[in-house]
Amino acid sequence: MKKHDIVYWINNKQSLLKDYEAYLPSLQKMLHLLLHDIESNLSCIHSDPIIKGRVKDFNAFYSKLLIRTNQFEETDPFSSITDLIGIRVIVPFLEELHLHEKRLVQNYDILEIDHKSKVLSIKEFGYDSIHLLISIPDYILGDAPLYKPVACEIQLRTILQDAWAEVEHELIYKTSLDNIEDAIRRKLIALNATLSLVDTTFQEIRNYQKKRHADIQEKHQILMKTISTTPTSEYTNAMPDSDSILKETETNNIFINALNAHISGNLAKAHELYTCLLNVSPNHYLYNHRGLVNLSLCKYNDALEDFSTAIKMQPQDIRVYTNRGLAHRMLKDYDSALADFNESLKLNPICTDAFYGRSLTYYDMGDINLALEDCDRAIAINENFVQATKFKQFLLSRDI
């Protein structure tokens, strides 16, 4: 088939529209079948994703065609534009993205996988999702009349990622970035960072709830075993009293409130609640979180004290060494900062946050070459490490 340039497609827009309208019922039929098929395949995960789809409307299809043919000629846009049928799978938590991705990979012929979290420009900020290009199964193609596309795009997102993408599409994608003021750009960057933090913290809360549930189940099993082997006269002593159960419930509520305050930026309240919890049940996890609050409040010595206490309680937690390294860096104690980052890397040689923190420290010390080396290591381990990618771009803009 002959390839055509942009002029051809501009002159033949009406003919293309007629073809599109002829193919549309077939596309809608396949979308319906795919939605049902994907929902069936994902049902075994015992999650409750939102699954929705669309057939790209003609104006969006035509605009994409013109953009493509401005760069290279097209033969058959109905085959080359692979997101005519698009489906989104939206889940509450980050961990579920990978569960659903794995299930889709197991059940469909994957043509391409793209993790969109590597941000290279302001235009792409927040477009954080997993895109899978699948070959439409024969059993669906066979039921669809007339037109048969070869592929369908599936996007996996959390609820927050999807919300950002919808708003970003209106604010950025449809707008010339040259007309966006720097102040607005900064706000968009800050908002994106906040949403990413909220997504991560939701996952932390989810993990905490799962751990608490597992602990409660374990205690329940121990308790039931104790009851079954304890003489009646000793039964009362084996049972936890109502006050201890109430205190545990109150502690859990305070922890959730502390995390919410931390996320929302109410650092003083978060500090107060973490301190309250530490007075009742001190552990390295809470000391680390209060240390992070102190770090945000620029109380670097207090942060150091909290991180050091956490390390004494749990000397194998690489996160705390990395966090203490950041506190040392802010106090310009670069040797101590490097020592902590090195300890993190000793415990975990592929700790990207430690490489990134050490890169920042080398930069503060004036050694851009070593800073670049550590940036490269972090990106080599995790190519989607946004901060490291941006910092590397900054370093390359400096005179080395």
Domains of the chain and any CATH numbers: 6-187 (3.30.460.10), 231-396 (1.25.40.10)
| Token pair recorded at residue 298 | 């620029």
- pLDDT at position 140: 85
CB atoms within 10 A of CB 14: 7
Structure token digits, residue 9? 């497609």
Torsion angles phi and psi, residue 113, rounded to 5: -125, 130
Minimal CA–CA distance to 378: which of 400, 362, 398, 399? 362
Q: How far is CA 143 from the centre of its chain?
A: 37
Single-letter amino acid, residue 70: N
Helix (H, G, I), strand (E, B) or coil at 40: helix
Amino acid identity at 10: I
Q: Please answer whether residues 380 and 374 qualify as being in contact, where contact means their C-beta atoms are separated by less than 8 angstroms.
A: no
* Nearest C-alpha neighbor of 73 from the set 27, 7, 151, 23: 7
Helix (H, G, I), strand (E, B) or coil at 92: coil
Beta strands, E only, 242-379: none
Would you state the structure tokens that stand for residue 151, as one six-digit string?
């592929």
Nearest 5°: CA angle at 328, between 324 and 330?
115
Instruction: Give residue for tokens 């302001």.
Output: 122
Question: β-strand 109-115 against 130-135: which pairing, if any?
Answer: antiparallel
Note the Cα 231 to chain centre separation in Å: 52
Low-confidence ranges of the chain (pLDDT < 50): 119-126, 220, 223-246
How confident is the model at residue 146, as a pLDDT? 52
Strand ordering across the sheet containing 130-135? 50-55, 85-91, 151-158, 130-135, 109-115
The tokens describing 377, both together, are 């290591």
